[in-house]
Structure formats: C-alpha cells, structure tokens
Structure 1
Amino acid sequence: MTVVEGLPNPSSVPPVREPKETSIIRALQLLDVFMGDRTVWGVTDIARQAGLPTSTTHRLLSHLVDGEVVTKDGPDYSLSGRLFELGYQLEFTRPQGLRDVSGPFLGELFATTGLTVHLAVLDRAQLLLVNKISGLHTYQSKYHVGARYTATCTALGKSMLAFEDETETRRIIAQGLPRRTRHSLTRPADFLVALAEIRKTRLAFNREESYLGEFCVATPVLRFGKAIAALSLSGSPAQLESPQTHGLLIRIANDLSQILDRQVQLK
C-alpha cells in the first residue's frame, strides 16, 4: 500500500462509528421486522427487510439479545417474552386499565349477541386492537389483538375519528385515504359525510372496506365528547343491521364510559 507523505496511513485510521443515539434507534427499528405474520427470522432476511448491511444488523441484534428484547436460537431470532411483559405495562393494558375494566362489557356483548367483539384505541391514522372475544362458532374476523389497521377503512377507526379534533381529522384525510378494497372510501368529501352521519347516530359501519367479506358495526367510548376507545361487533350483514344490536352496542359503550369516568374521579 502506498502511503502519501503528509497524509495518515489508511490502515491506521479508526473506522467511523455512528453516534450511540443512531445505533439505539436502528436497533429498535429492527423490531418492526417482527410486526408481520412471520415470527422467526435469520440475520440475512432481517438485514434485507431493514435495508441494512448484514454486519450492522448482526451487531445491532447482539445488543437486542443482550438486552433480552430478542431471543437467539441458533441462527434464528425472535422476540422475547420480555416484550410481552413490557406490553402489559402500557396504561390501557395494566390492571384496572382500559383493557381490564372493559373486559366484562365485552363479555356481556358477546354473551348477548353471539358476535365477535373488538376493543380498539386510536393512534393518529391507525387503530390499535386492544382486545377481542370470539367463540368456536362465531365469525372469525381478520383483526388480531396487538395489530394496527388503517383507521379510515374500519368501523372502529371511523367511529373514533368522527369525534376527533377536526384539525387532526382533516390532517389525516389530507395524507390520503388508502384503498384497501373496492369498497373503501377514498374521496375526502364522501369520508367527511360518513363522519357526520356517525356523529348523529353514534354508529359506524365497515362494509368490506378493509377486507372483502368483513362486516362490522362500531360505536365510540366517549369521555367529554372525545373518543378514548371504540367497541365493535363482527358478523354477517343481516346480524349487524338489527336495531336491537345497535342499541345494545351503544348502551354498553355508554356504561363503560361511565365506569371509566368514575375511575378518573377517584384518582
């Protein structure tokens, strides 16, 4: 190797290291790879999904393994049970949190209607499914606890967006209304009309807007006029058009809202 006088020897120059903050962010971003249906990954596939060099990915994964966030079994990596524990420390999953308090109300809905019941919260343009109750012979919805879904294409999401701050709702609409199926509402004017109707009736419908064959009716759980969560029922169109079912869904949501109000007042 030729060394030019006055310049440092390349072999003696230490490699440039990225800031520690960047490494932490990149390591945490690797966790997004595990968000889909696949639970076990090899380092090469993780690197490809994350768009990082394999060597960098291997180094970041070693930190996650040391931190007990990821488990390594031979060449394979998966999320650790530690994340399950941490997930239950979120405010709405802790004892006496939203998920815990709402459990009996979801049970009442399921026992009375025989339909699949969901509970969700809104996170900007997405909803996060917090709980779900179904039976051996009920309709098996495509929604899974812990997963995120486009709020504008679901009954749960629309029921909460209808009672969201108007500025925030218009910001979400301005980002674009995704087309998940041919039934999705993609025109802002149509979507705003749907939200206005939801505010009148307290009912939002998903008629195959997120998945073909998926039908839901939802209502928000309100506190001081804003939706803090939403409840929904999934089943056949005929099952979801019953006025009695609609009335029961709204009543259960109102009862849950009152219980949550009392909890806040006691704190």
Structure 2
Amino acid sequence: MSKKSENPQILSSVSNALRILKSFSTFEPTLKVKDLSESLGLGKSTVSRLLATLAHEGFVIKENKTGKYKLGLSVLTLGGIVTNHLEIHKEAAPLLYKLVNDTGETAHLSILDGLDTIYIHKEECSHPVRILTHLGRKNPSYCTSSGKVLLAFNENNLVEEVIKKGLHAYTSKSITDPDELRKELKTIRDRGYAISTEELTEGTRSVSAPIHDYTGKVVCAINVVGPIQRMQDYKVPEIAKKVMNAGKEASQRMGYNK
C-alpha cells in the first residue's frame, strides 16, 4: 500500500523512490515493474517513471534481456561514504583483520537498524564458506550473536519490541519463546559475549562481543562466523576470548575507559 505522510515537508515521489530502492535484497536482487507495483501499492506507470529517474541517476540498472531492474553503482558509492565516515568503522576495522588472522574465520562489525542488525564492515577469511553475509545485509537481531549482544546491552529495552513483532523460527534452533530470549540476553550480559549456533542458518556458528563508545554505551558488535565443523564446541571459549579482547580494544579506541 502506498505510504502517505501528513508532514507537508515529505515529498511522496521521493519517499516512493526510496521505498523502491529498499525493496531490493539479497533474496530479490532483481525486480520487475509489476513486482514493485504490487508490493508497494503503486501504479505501474508511477513505478516505471520512478525507475527511469533512478536509472538516469545510476541508482538502478535495467537488464535488457529480462526487463528487470537491479541496484546501480551509485548506491555502492553512497554506502562507501557512510561507512568511511563512521567513527566505529575507522577505529575497529583494523581489529577485524587481526581477528580473522587469530581465529581463521570471517569477522564483521554490526549495528542496530531498527529491530534488525546490519553489517557495516566485513573481513573475509582465507577459506570462506557460503554464508549469506554481506555489507548492508539485515538480519533479525534475536537470531544472530551480534544482534543478541546489541539487544542485551540496549538501554531502550528493544527486546520487548522484538518480542511484540514476533519471534519467527528460521531454523529448528531459533529462539521463539520470549522467556527463553530474555534469559539468554541476561546470560550474555553476565558473561560479556553471545553465541549463535544454527539459529539463523543451519551449519553455522558465530560469536560476538560488544563495543562501547566513550560514554559507555554499546554502539556496535564485533563477531566471527564460520561453519560448525571448524568452530566446534571446545574451540568456542578461546574464540570468545579473542572476540572479547577485540571488542575491548575497539572500545578503548572509541574512548571508553571502564
């Protein structure tokens, strides 16, 4: 359904163009005019005009063979500007490289985006596996180690909003019981790190720790993720120690002094 705002400062055409851009995802990297028209509640002619404008500015590209649209390089350019000017990105990015060398697994920085987590930096290991992680990817916060860390230390108690939205089961190991999630978050606060084992993607495990800013607020999570075959149970405590150390060093670089 088309969104309408009572705020006279909001231009509906701009809002709808941005809604089109946000419709693309890892699972739907290409979309037809019909797809966007139906999902956004907009007329096909309106969608076509907006796509033509976005294509002219380089934000989408039309595939001649299929007639479908995909995101253009202008989106990537803007994304690079954002990440390069995030203080946490500048301070913690070098630590990701070290963490990859120390653990042999892929490392990420994640922040909260509404009720979800989003990756803002990724350092790939030398023997990556097919795990769906990429910059800008959103994941449900209650199913990932980074998301659970950010929820556990969130000052606004977002967990209740997450619970209200619904705890969907992505795998048989996803947390779907509100009380179980609350208990898990308390455990994370007590021990200082989170573990996610096949809660979002089968066959994978991740370990995450918080990063504090100079005020003591947790603003980011740092994690490593890999296949269970490599991140076996007996390795988790040592991996967690390395991830926590990386989080502490990143926090110090952000001016945090406990």
Q: What TM-score, normalized by structure 2, do the two folds share?
A: 0.83
Map residues 30-109 of structure 1 onto 2, 5 A cutoff. Answer: 30-72=20-62, 74=64, 75-90=67-82, 93-95=83-85, 97-109=87-99
Q: What secondary structure, in the 3-state scheme, does the structure 2 residue paired with 1:35 have?
A: coil
Detail structure 1 runs of 4+ shifted over 6 Å in the superposition.
none
Q: What secondary structure, in the 3-state scheme, does the structure 2 residue paired with 1:182 have?
A: coil
1:234 to 225, 233, 237: 225
CA distance in 2, matches of 1:95, 1:65: 26
Which amino acid in 2 is paired with 1:57?
V
CA contact (8 A) 2:171 2:201 kept: yes
2:105 to 112, 115, 134: 115
User: For the structure 1 residues 239 and 118, does the alpha-carbon distance in structure 2 shift closer, same or farther, using more than 3 Å as the test?
Assistant: farther
**Corresponding position of 1:261:** 255
Gap runs ≥5 in structure 2: 1-7
CA contact (8 A) 1:221 1:257 kept: yes
CA distance in 1, matches of 2:60, 2:234: 42
**Corresponding position of 1:198:** 188
Aligned residues: 242
CA contact (8 A) 2:207 2:239 kept: no
**Corresponding position of 1:160:** 150
CA distance in 2, matches of 1:132, 1:110: 10
CA contact (8 A) 2:167 2:176 kept: yes
CA contact (8 A) 1:68 1:80 kept: yes
Provide Cα deviations, 1:77-111, integer angstroms capped at 9, x if missing partner.
33221121111222xx1257322332210011111
CA contact (8 A) 1:163 1:225 kept: no
User: For the structure 1 residues 98 and 49, does the alpha-carbon distance in structure 2 shift closer, same or farther, using more than 3 Å as the test?
Assistant: same
Q: What TM-score, normalized by structure 1, do the two folds share?
A: 0.81
The structure with the larger Rg is 1
Q: What secondary structure, in the 3-state scheme, does the structure 2 residue paired with 1:205 have?
A: strand
Which amino acid in 2 is paired with 1:255?
E
User: For the structure 1 residues 192 and 114, does the alpha-carbon distance in structure 2 shift closer, same or farther, using more than 3 Å as the test?
Assistant: same
CA distance in 1, matches of 2:38, 2:183: 43
CA distance in 2, matches of 1:239, 1:189: 25
Looking at both structures, which has the greater relative contact order when contacts are Cα pairs under 8 Å and sequence separation is at least 6? 2
More deviation, 247-256/167-176? 167-176
Q: Percent identity?
A: 28
Map residues 136-147 of structure 1 onto 2, 5 A cutoff. Answer: 136-147=126-137
More deviation, 140-149/189-198? 140-149
Q: CA deviation at 1:226?
A: 2.5
